[in-house]
Amino acid sequence: MQPTNIKNPEYFHKVVDCQYACPAHTPVPEYIRLIAAEKYTEAYMINWESNVFPGVLGRTCDRPCEPACRRGRIEAEPVAICRLKRVAADHKADVKKHMPSAPFPSNGKKVALIGGGPASLTVARDLAPLGYEIHLFDEQVSGGGMMRSQIPSFRLPEEVLSEEVNFILDMGIHSHFKTYVKSLREILDKKYDAVFVGTGAPRGKDLPDLPGRWDAKSNIHIGIEWLASVAFEHIHSIGKKVIVVGGGNTAMDCCRTSRRLGGVEVKVVVRSPFAEMKASPWEKEDAMHEDIPILDCHVPKTFVVEDGKLKGMTFEKVHAVKDENGKRSLVSTGEPDVFIEADDVLLAIGQENTFPWIERDLGLEFNKWELPSVDPVTFQSTIPSVFFGGDSAFGPKNIITAVAHGHQAAVSIDLYCQGKNLNERLHPMVNLVSQKMGIHEWAYDSKIVDDLRYVVPQAEKAITLKDRKKEVELGFDVQTAFKEAQRCLNCDVQTVFTESRCIECDACVDICPTSCISFVPNEEEDALRLHLNAPAKNKNQDLYVSDALPTTRVMVKDEDVCLHCGLCAERCPTSAWDMQKYLYQVTKAGSCSHIR
Amino acid sequence: MTYQRPSFRHPELPLNELGYRKKDYEGSLSTLCAGCGHDSISAALIQACFELNIEPHKLAKLSGIGCSSKTPTYFLGNSHGFNSVHGRMPSVATGANLANRDLMYLGVSGDGDTASIGMGQFVHLIRRNLNITYIVMNNGCYGLTKGQDSATADKGSKSKAGSVNPFQNIDLAGLAIELGAGFVARSFSGDKLQLIPLIKAALAHPGFAFIDVISPCVTFNNNVGSTKSYDYVRHHIDATATFDFVPLAKEITTHYSAGSTQEVKMHDGSYLKFNKLQKDWDPTKKETAVHAMHKANEAGEILTGLIYINEDSKDLHQILNTNSRPLNQLTETDLCPGIHKLEEINKSLC
């Protein structure tokens, strides 16, 4: 293998599994250390800079970081990254003084943002301090988009959301709420320098052809529309017996909200097997904890309506069968159909994009799925001044993805408004600093604790089920947060190897608890992976390979289960190993005009 | 300072035949200098015992005084141990072995502990052919007292302070062969591929098995001009053979080219397979072994690997024809059979 080029910013970035997996690349270990040091405000600001909504995401994020966490590869469970983020938000002091504060000197450019959700708000936050005049349009009464309309208050209290939305709106954003944009042409005619579309995926899927669907319309609801009506207090109750059809996180929000609005026998009914449901495991657990059974492998067949009144639904029982190509299909078990009683049915079977307000003669291209043609790097549409981001760009994903899109769209808009090439984007800001303080002392807490993942306490079910707005999760207290933070392996503190200093004494090989380091003859990667001190079977994790050493061997470190404990560097007599903290920050809009 | 090794290990490391992990053969975290060759020897001992499926409680580690003699704390933490008086480990080992012949004995010593203060005990241990694996962690200096030349420092070797050693060195491996040791080897802490099978073979050898392991003192004797530095040893190393220890009832996996291989069957049925690198050298013939060592010395090379083996070695218990049961298992009725037995003996003398 060729020696690893650690000057490529992506090499060490990939070692920080959580940060690499995060769409917005939040420097996770950096803020977890700050939480352990009780520096909640600083931890919050690291998050805010990167993901804009730490309080919201600390409660609702899909957590792509956690399945990626290295801790999950050496023991049962990853670090509770998401809930630690919430700790920073819960315990922060005055953060506003650390944020850019309006008024900002104008740069004479105007940008329109269509939709007030996480993508648009991110664009607003990134561009407003640069002097852009931002006009944000949303049909709802306040900002937040789906974070407000679709996420129930018992998961995300309104004040938490409003605080973080207001941090942005207070930057002198011209917000136009209760304003539904009916026409993109009208917006374009207003001569904005750029337009950003962040309208989400607002249409909930229906079962229009299922028998009985239109005979009991008033008791059959589309999940996300129903959740929005609850959030905006148009709906206050639901029948005692409720069926929620669907297996995603929206279904979990629907069933749990139903329990709070009068639903007693609430059931989730889903086509796929339980293990393959789209909902996050923790959201399924929370639903079941609230006495909501999840019936899997049930395919909706009919709505049963008697005398114009909904009585329930029938379902066909199926099981999953895989063909030789591994493709799954659901096959009837041959058992009789199942009838489930219901006063109300909520359909939470997915959502899709819809752009009825975009005229098709403007030159804005749509693909065969009726999604706009959007560049995946620049987020530019086929109209150069129109950008897309969030769910509206590539279909429904999640908040953190929308934020990541927003940052990149803001970079593009800034470049576009300056007449620069959108593809000449700056590299990330990186910094690599030795943590050495003494012979055996490091500037980071290198000790590895054995603690298992701590559980976030919840409020009593008897209380939370009575009040739709009572938050279920109480969040970690600071003592537990410290202990959970200590579980973090500090994967951003990199093991940096300098071959010119190595005397091949094997001290690092002997001390490494997880047998990551080997000194072996060089080979091609596949062969090398088999000939190390421990097999390097996880090909998603790189091998760190040195140049040839005096004995012609090479140092090979398998990054897979490195604990970043620093023992290799402590036992190295020549400091050929050093522990160096790697900070990787995605370049945001505005960094283009000056070198950081 | 880290005082504890994290408890996590690579999740895919195998168990040995006893169901133990390698971790079960580890000891406390080393407090030796970073980069000390001794730590590599400790690691090789851990690996060898893990691979040999030794029950940790069936092994006793004995040592004297010195950096080397501290190391038993850093490996085989679940085995018996005795950190004895300077140079007096052989006496303690002899007593322990006579009291319980069922244990495996591992003596760990240094060049000072063996070639200076313990020389008298060392030679008598060989003379008696105690069943023990005796490892000298040889760094050519007194590391614990700031690196003065030891008796194994080569003549002309330069110390860290720049002084040149004027005295002839003691070659412990040569001495051991001369005194009739049945298993003599030399190795290098930085060459685990060689050291691990050597340790395994030494542990399987019935009788005194000696390994002189050159183990650089990274703090006091790793300078230019030293003949026991990592660099010097790497540049002057010359091996007798590449070889493999094949335990009893195991298939041979290493490939050897025809004509150059030789097998030595060990007492317990396992055997050593060699791929010879030296001409006119036969590890079972003492004179060729001595010749090979002299030749290497003259060429300024350090000859490593197994140098001499006598597969018919008789250990102390066989020489003395002692009881086959360990002394510590003999009860009062065994030891004092009573008046009738005495009378029988007396009668037989008439």
How much is the average pLDDT of B125-132? 96
Mean pLDDT of the A24-42 span = 97
How far is the C-alpha of A261 from the C-alpha of A240, rounded, in Å?
9
User: What is the percentage of chain B residues whose pLDDT exceeds 90?
Assistant: 76
Tens of pLDDT along B256-266? 444 466 777 77
Tell me which residue of A216, A234, A152 sits closest to A473, measured CA to CA.
A152
- A581-596 pLDDT tens trace: 999 999 999 874 433 3
Q: Which pLDDT belongs to residue B238?
A: 82
| Average pLDDT over chain A, rounded to an integer | 95
Predicted pLDDT at B113: 97
Question: Hey, where are the domains in chain A?
Answer: 101-202+353-417, 204-350
* pLDDT, position B251: 47
Residues A425-472 pLDDT 10s? 989 999 999 999 987 889 999 999 999 999 999 999 999 999 999 999
Closest-CA distance, B213 to chain A, in angstroms, reads 14
Amino acid A278: pLDDT: 93
How much is the average pLDDT of A305-313?
94
Whether the pLDDT of residue A540 is over 70: the answer is: yes
Let me know: does A248 contact A294? Beta carbons within 8 Å.
no
Residues of B in contact with A510 (CB under 8 A): 39-40, 42-43
User: Which of B3, B10, B139, B187 has the most A C-beta neighbours within 10 Å, making it the best mutation to test the interface with A?
Assistant: B10
What's the CATH number of domain A204-350, 2.60.40.10, 3.20.20.70, 3.50.50.60, 3.40.50.2020? 3.50.50.60
**pLDDT at site A439:** 79
Average pLDDT over residues A193-220: 94
Q: What is the pLDDT of residue A289?
A: 95
- Give the residue-averaged pLDDT of B284-300: 90
Asked if residue B248 has pLDDT above 70, the reply is: no
What percent of chain A stands above pLDDT 70?
Answer: 99
Say if A101-202+353-417 and A204-350 have the same CATH topology.
yes
User: Residue A80 pLDDT more than 80?
Assistant: yes
Is the bond preceding residue A78 a cis peptide, omega within 30 degrees? Answer: no
Q: Do A571 and B39 touch (CB under 8 A)?
A: yes
Q: What local confidence, expressed as pLDDT, does residue A324 receive?
A: 87
**All domains of chain B in start order, with CATH:** 22-320 (3.40.50.970)
Mean pLDDT check: name the lowest of A295-309, B145-159, B323-337: B323-337
Please give the pLDDT value at position B260: 61
Higher pLDDT, A30 or A369: A30
- Cβ distance A441 to B1 less than 8 Å, yes or no, reads yes
B73-91 pLDDT, tens digit each: 999 999 999 999 999 999 9
In terms of pLDDT, which residue wins out, A371 or A113? A113
Residue A536 has pLDDT above 80, yes or no: yes
User: How would residue B95 be classed by pLDDT, with cut points 50, 70 and 90?
Assistant: very high
Residue found under tokens 């003379």: B127
pLDDT, one tens digit per residue, over B189-221 is: 999 989 999 999 999 999 999 999 999 999 999
Q: How far is CA B127 from CA A206, B131, B133, in A?
A: 93, 12, 14
Residue B216: list chain A partners with CB under 8 A: 505
Check A505 against B231: CB less than 8 A apart: no
Give the side-chain half-sphere CA count within 13 A for A514. 23
Query: Residue B1's pLDDT is what?
Result: 54
What interface predicted TM-score (ipTM) does this complex get?
Answer: 0.89
Q: What is the CATH number of domain A101-202+353-417?
A: 3.50.50.60
Instruction: For residue B38, give how far its alpha carbon lies from the nearest alpha carbon of chain A (Å).
Output: 10
Contact list in B for residue A515 (CB cut-off 8 A) is: 9-10, 13
Region of residue A395 (phi > 0: left; psi between -120 and 50: alpha; otherwise: beta): left
Q: How far apart are CA A53 and CA A146, in angstroms?
A: 13
Of B7, B219, B230, the CB nearest to A503: B230
How far apart, in whole angstroms, are the C-alpha atoms of residue B304 and residue B212? 9
| Mean pLDDT of the residues in chain B | 90
Cβ count near A388 (within 10 Å): 28
Question: In angstroms, what CA-CA distances link A161 with A60, A134, A319, B27?
Answer: 11, 20, 41, 53
